Amino acid sequence: MNEKIEKFICDLKQLNIQLPELRDYFWLNIDRSNETDMQRGILFDKKFEKIKSNFKITEKYVIKFLENSFNDPKVEARKEAINKLSLEFQSFNEWDEVAKNALIEKYTNDILIKTTKSKIADKIADKDNASRKKQTKLLVTFPDGTQISENEASETLAETINKIGIDKVKNLYMIIDNVAFISKNKEPMHRFIALEGDYFANVNSSSLKKKRQLEFISKKLNLGLIIEIVKK
């Protein structure tokens, strides 16, 4: 990481430390014996704490982004290699420069290879986890033994609602992302699926949430449904 980026990060941290001085300066102009002034001060404190909290979160993510973007992996690996060698060999700093540099280079490359393998393993694990998540679907069983289990959770949800009867379900109070769960107006919905009677269901949710929505419907209407997440 170059000096300019390091200085920027340092200044950002310093700014966060100095923020309370702004609050102190504001309170210098508050007459504590005046009720109206005190209310202004209390209101300011509430807003100030919220802004300070948001700034701290932003500072954290900005610093992380800069460190990830500008850190040179080889430079960082070399630092780690030198620290490791210094701990392993007490007289390492007194070694011949050629021997020192040769061993530092070897340790640096070993660390880089290990880091690369670790990142590849993490990516493979993430893909496997994502793949496992995609390989599930919903299974809905009615008391009469009828089962609905389409390839996609949203399709199972839609078919289940159609079987129950849209007139029974449409008036149940459910909201997803501040949008009605069932409505004839699909415009506010990020993802939707068509139902009978020109209605649409808001399906901008996970399979687990769809399962809970169907459980909610079953409980409200006393349907006795069994809703499961199963492998495809």
Number of domains, the chain? 3
Domain termination residue (choose one: 47, 71, 95): 71
pLDDT at 199: 93
Q: Taking the model in full, what pTM does it have?
A: 0.45
Long-range contacts at 209-218 (CB < 8 A, ≥ 24 apart): 209/176, 210/138, 210/153, 210/154, 210/156, 210/157, 211/138, 211/153, 213/157, 213/174, 213/181, 214/138, 214/140, 214/157, 214/160, 216/172, 216/174, 217/161, 217/164, 217/169, 217/172
Distance CA 158, CA 156 (A): 5
Same domain, 11 and 56: yes
The parent domain of residue 94 ranges over: 74-133
Question: Of the candidates 71, 94, 117, which is a domain's last residue?
Answer: 71
- Assess whether 156 and 219 both reside in one domain: yes
Q: If DSSP codes are grouped into helix, strand and coil, which group holds residue 93? A: helix
Is residue 53 located within the same domain as residue 91? no
pLDDT in tens, 91-143: 888 888 898 899 999 999 998 898 888 878 777 777 766 655 568 899 999 99
Q: Do 127 and 82 share a domain, yes or no?
A: yes
